[in-house]
Amino acid sequence: MPATDPLGTSEASPGLASRPVRYPDQYLWYILAASLDLMLTNALINFHGFEEANALAARVIELGGFAGLITFKFVSVALVVVICEYVGGHRPITGRRLAAAAIAISGVPVVLGLLQLVLF
């Protein structure tokens, strides 16, 4: 009988759950940047009286509160990871560049938020 992992997938028939992602290090940095963005957004809005600059995110906050923003952010993170995986399956270098771009783009609001905390 084939060995199974804690998720119950068999070594003889690896499924989607047993396949590693293509860019795990980039995804960890991306998730860190997204998490920092959420934390800084919460601090700036709730403790410093700032308003959300992103119109879509502001609408999500208006409709679902901060819990809605968390859900929105991590659905978008999952979507970006899925897109990177799909693109990386066809063009590995392009997929890696896309993941790097996602980190850089997500880092911009983090840097701006930190500057706002320090300067205001």
Q: Where are the beta strands (DSSP E) in 3-112?
A: none
Single pTM value for the model: 0.82
Q: Where are the domains of the chain?
A: 22-119
pLDDT in tens, 45-64: 999 999 999 999 999 999 99
- Any long-range contacts for 17-23 (C-beta under 8 Å, 24+ apart)? 21/81, 21/85, 22/84, 22/85, 22/88, 22/89, 22/92, 22/95, 22/96, 23/84, 23/88, 23/95, 23/96, 23/99
pLDDT in tens, 21-46: 999 999 999 999 999 999 999 999 99
